[in-house]
Amino acid sequence: MSAVSADQLRELFTKPYGLPAPSEEQWRALYADDVHFQDPTQERVGVDAYIAAQNGLIRRCDDVYLLPTAVAVDADLAFVEWEMGLKIKGIEFVYPGASRLRLNGDGKICDHRDYFDFVGPTFGPVPLVGGFVRWLYKRFVD
């Protein structure tokens, strides 16, 4: 079996607002049964748990978009730089991030790690809390 291609990743990591998320079949075609997934909010093991996490995010939001901005595949390692938008109760939250994907001997994704700032985009737009988050970030950056 050949490794996951950049075009396959670009397709999987593209979901405009208003269109459906990837299907279970699309996930299973590229992800190993024992995939390990981790992002700043959760850690899951197994393709069923990974699909459940993706479906849970879709259910919690009014709409979701995902846009890949760069994709690179080299042997058993791939990176996808992306921007994700979540619409929840009339507020849009935008998260720039990247995914590091390791491929197993069958060419399927066996380890998926997402890197993004969860706190700033999540709490920044919220009245009162957002001001505190921006102040806190500034304290660490300046």
Residue 60 belongs to a domain: yes
Which one has a higher pLDDT value, 137 or 53?
Answer: 53
From the number of C-beta atoms within 10 Å of its C-beta (0-12, 13-18, 19+), residue 61 rates as middle
The tens digit of pLDDT for each residue in 86-100 reads: 999 988 999 999 999
Residue 14 lies in a domain: yes
- 48 assigned to some structural domain: yes
Output the CA–CA distances (angstroms, integers) from residue 120 to 2, 63, 80, 81, in the order listed: 39, 20, 21, 18
Based on the structure, what is the number of domains in the chain?
1
Q: Give the integer Cα–Cα distance in Å for 99 and 58.
A: 18
pTM for this entry: 0.88
Residue 1 in any domain: the answer is no
The phi and psi torsions of 60 (rounded to 5 degrees) equal -75, -15
* Span 20-77, pLDDT tens digits: 999 999 999 999 999 999 999 999 999 999 999 999 999 999 999 999 999 999 999 9
Neighbour-count burial of 4, counting CB atoms closer than 10 A to its CB (0-12 exposed, 13-18 middle, 19+ buried): buried
CATH of the domain at 108: 3.10.450.50
Taking the CA atoms of the chain, what radius of gyration do you get in angstroms? 16
**pLDDT-derived band at 1, boundaries 50, 70, 90:** very low
Is 132 domain-assigned? yes
Provide the domain limits for residue 47. Answer: 6-141
Mean pLDDT (the chain) is: 92
Cβ atoms of 68 and 101 closer than 8 Å: no
